[in-house]
Structure 1
Amino acid sequence: MQSQPLSATEFEAIEETLLKYGDDYTILNTCELDGFFTALASSPEQVDIAQWFPAIWGGQLPNWESPEDLKNVIELCTRHYNVLALQLAEDPAAFAPRFEASEHQGQTVTLAEEWCFGYLRAIAIAHWPALPAIQAALLQTIVDLAEQDTFELPEDLDVAAHQQQVADVAPAARALHDYWLSQRVSTGSCAFPHAHRPDL
């Protein structure tokens, strides 16, 4: 299993491929993809790449211009998935969601909305069952941000409150991973899901 973190250049290569083959129904940036993989790596049961890879593209694979495009994006995606799975399971302090940044009325604001939307995409394809109240509240932290509009922040945005919401996302994601990990361990399942390169 490859677990070498991606370089900035490799993230750029993924983003270029997402934009090249994407549309309104696909994941279009690495922030959303990072959230998507975080939820997959945290899920109660492993989701096969034959399910999650097409989901990146809105459920239907693109018409690849070359086999190399497909090969490269699969390799980079599976590597990033595996890095996140390993971090969450064995070194949660190293886990840091890949958020965006924007300027808002002269301030730099960290945005987690795209990441959270990606997280919810993965929950949908992984079919998470209902959560206990504590974990449901943690998930609501992510849901609330996913429902906000990142294209135009309101002029009256409470920046401090918004940034606190963003700061709560990583601890919520770690706690949700730990909850499902405890469930997997108690049933004797794999300690953490990870991706394999498939024949798609």
Structure 2
Amino acid sequence: MQTQPLNAADFECLEGILLKHGDDNSVLNTCELDGFFTALVSSPAQVDIADWFPAIWGGQNPNWESPDEAKQFIELSVRHINTLARQLAEGSTAFAPRFEETEHNGQAVTLAEEWCFGYLRGVAVANWSPLPAVQAQLLQTIADCAEQDNFELPEDLDVAAHQSQVAEIEPAARALHDFGLSQR
């Protein structure tokens, strides 16, 4: 099995499979999947694929087109989760949450809602224990962004404040990973 990070074509493949087999209860895009996997590798307790794989699909396995399609999805998923684990454990600058980009009133805006929603899904699947106050606040930083409705940005959005909030997510995720790793 390959160990290098996924490339654009790999992410497109994952995205296509997620959209093809997803529903309202499943992970629907690679941003959400990236957040989900980041939480799993940051968990104070290791999470088995038998627990996290069905959670991608809302508890139901997809009706795969073929065994090869299922195998491809699993292989790409495992490669990505392993890459995230390696990047975070090494403190690598290569780790960057997979956020979406859009434009709002002529300004570039980074959207993190789906990544954060995926992260919270991963926290739930990993069944994180209550966290100490500092780590609980870091998790709240992520949760606050997951609660925003970024599908339609308000006309009067304070872009600078929004981007400032998004900028807090990566350091929070790194610190939560470091804490989780210290608890294993």
Answer whether TM exceeds 0.5 for this pair: yes
Residue 124 (structure 1) aligns with: 124
Residues 81-138 of structure 1, C-alpha deviation per residue, up to 9 Å, x if partnerless?
A: 0000001001332210000011111111000000000000010010101111111111
**C-alpha contact (below 8 Å) 2:44/2:180 kept by paired residues:** yes
Q: Percent identity?
A: 73
Partners in 1 of 2:141 and 2:40 — Cα distance? Answer: 18
User: Is 2:147 the counterpart of 1:144?
Assistant: no
Match of 2:64 in 1: 64
Q: Tell me if structure 1 keeps the 8 A contact 2:26–2:57.
A: yes
Contact kept in structure 2, 1:6 and 1:80, CA below 8 Å: yes
TM-score (norm. length: structure 2): 0.97
Letter of the 2:51 counterpart: Q
Partners of 2:44 and 2:128 within 8 A in 1:
yes
1:33 aligns with 2:33: yes
* 1:157 counterpart SS class: coil
Query: Equivalent residue of 2:110, what SS?
Result: strand
1 CA distance for matches of 2:182 and 2:50? 26
Unaligned runs of 5+ in 1: 185-200
After superposition, give the CA deviation of every residue in 1:7-54 in whole Å (9 maximum; x if it has no partner): 100000000000011111111110000000000000011111011011
What is the number of residues matched between the two proteins? Answer: 184
Summarize the alignment of residues 9-88 of structure 1 with structure 2, pairs less than 5 Å apart: 9-88=9-88
Whether the 8 Å contact between 1:92 and 1:174 is mirrored in structure 2 is no
State the SS of the aligned residue for 2:177.
helix
CA distance in 1, matches of 2:29, 2:171: 22
CA distance in 2, matches of 1:16, 1:180: 31
**Would the aligned equivalents of 2:44 and 2:182 in 1 still touch at CA under 8 Å?**
no
* Separation in structure 2 between the aligned mates of residue 105 and residue 17 of structure 1, nearest angstrom: 32
Distance 1:58 1:83 in 2: 24
Q: Which residue of 2 aligns with 1:189?
A: none
Q: For residue 72 of structure 1, report the CA deviation from its aligned partner.
A: 0.2
How far apart, in 1, do the equivalents of 2:176 and 2:85 lie? 13
Q: Kindly state the Cα deviation for residue 2 of structure 1 after the two structures are TM-superposed.
A: 4.6
The farther-off stretch of 104-113 and 72-81 is 104-113
Unaligned runs of 5+ in 2: none
User: 2:101 corresponds to which residue?
Assistant: 101
TM-score (ref. length: structure 1): 0.90
| RMSD between aligned residues | 1.0
**Aligned-residue offset at 1:183:** 1.5
Q: Deviations over 1:160-195 (max 9, x none)?
A: 0110111110000000000111111xxxxxxxxxxx
Structure 1 residue matching 2:93: 3-state secondary structure: helix
